[in-house]
Structure 1
Amino acid sequence: MNDFLRPALTVVGSINLDITATAERLPSPGETIGGAVLRQQPGGKGANQAVAAARLAGRSRMVGAVGNDDAGRHLLEAMAAAGVDTRDVARVDAATGTALVLVDRDGENQIVVCPGANGEVSVSGVAFAEDEAVLCQLEVDQAVVLDAARATRGYFVLNAAPAAPLIPELLERCDLVIVNETEYELIPELKEARLVAVTYGKDGAAIYEQGQRVAEAPGVPVSDVANTIGAGDAFCAALVLALRSELDYGSALAVANAVGADAVRDPSSQPALKPLEHYIEAAIASR
């Protein structure tokens, strides 16, 4: 696809330092598990999506906030190295957001998030172009997400995670909402939403228009799962980019499923990915 046009994507959302302990299994309440391996890595749903978009399409922009601390500096450097424009990431006095993550040998996880600087994210003074797609999540204040939706002049997408009741105006302004099957059930107003993409893990994904299933794509089998944390974020970025590249719903879902499958094979929350063209060509060839 030599004439492939790289779409623009701006992500407004969270930036976290992930402190991850990987163990044979997840502990039960009150239980202590030994023998885990500890590491720190960049994370946050917003940053994960911005990095995935940059790796897929060559460029993306991040709007968020980090602290004036070593963690914030490290996270900004990591995003910039991946190809993310970080000029609209504020440096604030609060501590950089942190996520405490437990992962078992199958890649399943438990996460506790300390939002820190993510509580000070703002889109004040940020300009959005008509050809820009804007992707938000719910790890920052929903009022900020609504501000971003109001300011968006192009295509506005909400990854409604973690699940929460949605401000009616916010839902009305969404061109697309992306959720997993649990979030879809926890947010009943999505049943009547304009356009909703729902992921079903190994069973693939589907798109609904006002509650009617209009497209689907099967899951991609993965036998070597390393980490599931960044897979949903990579799926979100890939789906938006694929739809903005004028793929039909089914092909766009197939592209996003393939990207998500690659993501779970990588132990990082911000996995290495191939260019979007690779996944598009593979999806088209398989249909």
Structure 2
Amino acid sequence: MSSNETRARVAVVGSLNMDLVARAPRLPHPGETLAGRTFAQVAGGKGGNQAVAAARLGAQVSMLGCVGADANGAQLRAGLEAEGIDCTAVETGREATGVALIVVDDASQNAIVIVAGSNGEVTPETIARHEAVLAAADVVICQLETPLDTVQAALATARRLGKTVILNPAPATGPLPAEWLPLIDYLIPNELEAATLTGLPVGSPEEAATAAAVLRAAGARNVLVTLGPRGVQAALEGAAPALYDAPKVKAVDTTAAGDTFIGGFAAQLAQGASVDAAIRFAQRAAALSVTRAGAQPSIPTWAEVEG
């Protein structure tokens, strides 16, 4: 099903950041100064990345978030609108637009520091003001780069409205509130986040399966633990644990690979695809994204994934 043949709707509640990206031979040690090779300023933020991914990969997308009244905010808003994303629920706050400081090494690994800025101004009242945006969606995506009470309000509102709810628990700092888990249809952490959520080691697919089972037992309906080049460990309602092998590619930059997976997965679910098909499509999209540099610039289109 091409993006021209469906207008399935996805709403993203989350962060909008300007990414400041430096490439260096390796990640610096504490107190060390390294000479970088290149620098780029690109649109990012998990919310923005996932919205762009869902839009490029076949969905009609609405973004709910906040930017500052500055050049970065104007650029982020314009970039979303250029992707065909509805920005009616992107407010302008008092704080500066959020930024992310990213270092990428020669092994394509990254280290990221986020300054929330205006993302901290997305409140439960913001969710209430824009409830119609969630009501119009088939799938609602949230992350943890906005205040936690806001995330809880978004999850609860989406559940009350009968939407398919996806939570990407990033950045994870500890277990999720117990009352959140029954609100979530698809909990999608990476291996580090799964370890943080459960307190268990997650260094292998087998350990990821154990962590996913713990999260399902705690109330999440379905859990997908993304393991980078090792694939996705799935614990799905009514099914045995399953490992979905990742496509083999030469990685250049892993920034936004997880966001690409989530956006593609949500777009496929909104179109009515099976969970199995949605996972495999999202994996292909994420694999393409790591062969390119940057966050949003790396995200492929539906045609590229299916071409």
Partner AA of 1:93 in structure 2: R
Alignment correspondent of 1:92: 93
Among 159, 175, 178, the alignment partner of 2:168 is 159
Instruction: Tell me what 2:277 maps to.
Output: 251
Is the 1:215–1:250 Cα contact (8 Å) retained in structure 2?
A: no
For residue 130 of structure 1, report the CA deviation from its aligned partner. Answer: 5.7
Structure 2 CA distance for partners of 1:40 and 1:231, relative to 1, 3 Å: same
- Percent of pairs with identical residues: 37
Residue 232 of structure 1 is matched in structure 2 by 258
C-alpha distance after superposition, 1:8-61 (max 9, x if no partner): 101000000111111121111111111431111111000000011111115311
What is the match of residue 245 of structure 2? 218
Q: Which residue of 2 aligns with 1:285?
A: none
Shift of 1:174: 0.7
1:181 and 2:166 are equivalent in the alignment = no
Structure with the higher fraction of residues in strand conformation: 1
Residue aligning to 2:206: none
1:18 partner amino acid: D
1:191, 1:211 within 8 Å by CA — same for their partners in 2? Answer: no
Mapped contact 2:166–2:185 kept (Cα < 8 A): yes
Cα 1:31–1:83 change in 2 (3 A) is: same
Is 1:194 the counterpart of 2:221? The answer is: yes
In the alignment, is the contact (CA less than 8 A) between 1:215 and 1:249 conserved in 2?
no
1:111-122 to structure 2, matched below 5 A, reads 111-121=112-122, 122=126
Using a 3 Å threshold, how does the CA distance of structure 1 residues 216 and 252 change in structure 2: closer, same or farther? farther
Contact 2:17 2:97 in 1 (8 A): yes
**What is the SS of the residue equivalent to 1:102?**
strand
- Partner letter of residue 148 of structure 2? Q
Q: Which is further off, 183-192 or 253-262?
A: 183-192
| Coordinate RMSD, CA, aligned | 2.1
- Counterpart AA for 1:155: T
TM-score, with structure 1 as normaliser: 0.90
Q: CA deviation at 1:211?
A: 11
* Matched ranges for 1:18-167 at <5 A: 18-121=19-122, 122-126=126-130, 127=132, 128-129=134-135, 131-152=137-158, 153=161, 154-163=163-172, 164-167=174-177
Aligned-pair CA distance for 1:187: 1.0
Instruction: Supply the distance in 2 between the matched residues of 1:103 and 1:278 (Cα, whole angstroms).
Output: 25
Q: Does 1:12 align with 2:13?
A: yes
Letter in 1 for 2:28: P
Structure 1 pair 162–210 and aligned structure 2 pair: CA distance change class (3 A): farther
Point out where structure 1 has 5 or more consecutive residues left out of the alignment: 283-287
Question: Secondary structure in 1 aligned to 2:129?
Answer: coil
Q: CA deviation at 1:4?
A: 4.6
User: What one-letter code is carried by the residue in structure 1 that aligns with 2:180?
Assistant: L
Which amino acid in 2 is paired with 1:105? D
1:274 aligned to 2:278?
no
Unaligned runs of 5+ residues in structure 2 are 199-213
Whether 1:204 and 2:213 are equivalent positions in the alignment is no
TM-score (norm 2): 0.85
Q: Distance in 1 between matches of 2:216 and 2:156?
A: 23
Question: Is the 8 Å Cα contact of residues 10 and 137 (structure 2) preserved in structure 1?
Answer: no
One-letter amino acid of the structure 2 residue matched with residue 6 of structure 1: R
In 2: Cα distance, 1:138 partner to 1:87 partner: 21
Aligned residues: 279
